Each structure stands twice: as C-alpha cells, then as structure tokens.
Amino acid sequence: MAKTLRHLGKPSRLPASPQAATLDRVANPHPDTEYVARFTAPEFTTLCPITGQPDFAYLVIDYAPGKWLLESKSFKLYLGSFRNVGAFHEDCTVAIGKKLVALLKPKFLRIGGYWYPRGGIPIDVFWQTGKLPANVWLPDQGVAPYRARG
C-alpha cells in the first residue's frame, strides 16, 4: 500500500479546486499481470468558463496499471472538485488524463469525455498515452455517439 492514504477510511471534504485536490495511489497487487482497470464517472460536472453555466459529461477512463493503482475515494473527490471551476471540455478531459498518468505511470491510459450538448452541440474529447500490452482485452467504452443520451 501507499505510505499514507489521505482519504481512504477517513472523513474527507470536497476540495475547492482540482489544484487543491490530492490523489492517492496504492500498490498494484498483480504487477506481473497485464490487465485493464476502468473508472466511469457518469455524472461529471464542471462550469463553462465563459457563462458559468454547468456542463455535464460521462467520463470513461481505462488504464493498464504498472506499479500503482488509483485509489477510488480520492479520485471521486478529485472529480467532484471540478464542480465549481470553469474549464473547457477539452481542458478538463486532457488534464484529468495527464494528472492520472503523472501519478500512476501506467503502461497505457485512455480517457473519453462524452459531453452533453451546450448550444446544441455535444463535444466528445478523447486522449490516450502509452501502449496497450499485447493480449489485453480493451472493451469499447460503451458510450454511444450523442443521440439524446440519458
């Protein structure tokens, strides 16, 4: 396990911003095994940086862990910290992916940000890095192109 888990098993407050949030990681109990872990956040929320109106997305994150796994409670708090912050869809999606890569150093990571329409136009953002290990099953992210999602 990590030296000090800051959130797991302890009361935690929602951070004021993504910059103020802390993410925890734990040791991968199967570092000798190639596999993919998936996080989905179907109710991700942030604010439009211009109008201050809420923006909503369905995030899907797949990663092939190396030495580290993402601790889910700290991740939930990190995602919640975007609720009162203004950021464009592209910025949120890519910044989350890069933050996870810096923390976990996975073999592979991809993030799909499926954003609900603003001004009648949905914006979907995709980013990935690393190489998927051979013979690892990577399922489709399971989110259809926008057709009145819900």
Contact criterion met (CB below 8 Å) for 56 and 79: no
| SS3 label, residue 42 | strand
Query: Is 48 known to be catalytic?
Result: yes
Q: Report pLDDT for 110.
A: 98
- Does some domain include residue 74? yes
- Does some domain include residue 26? no
The catalytic residue among 48, 62, 92, 140 is 48
The catalytic residue among 24, 32, 55, 124 is 55
- Does some domain include residue 96? yes
- Does some domain include residue 10? no
The total domain count for the chain is 1
CATH for 87: 3.30.1130.10
**Count of positions (residues) in the chain:** 150
State the residue range of the domain holding 91: 35-128
- Nearest-angstrom CA–CA distance, 70 and 72: 6
Who's near 31: CB < 8 A, 6+ residues apart? 65, 66, 67
Burial of residue 24 (number of CB atoms within 10 Å: 0-12, 13-18, 19+): buried
Q: Report pLDDT for 121.
A: 86
Q: Report pLDDT for 90.
A: 96
User: What is the mean pLDDT for each group of 10 consecutive residues in the chain (150 residues)?
Assistant: 66 90 96 97 95 95 98 97 94 98 98 91 95 95 74
- Does some domain include residue 3? no
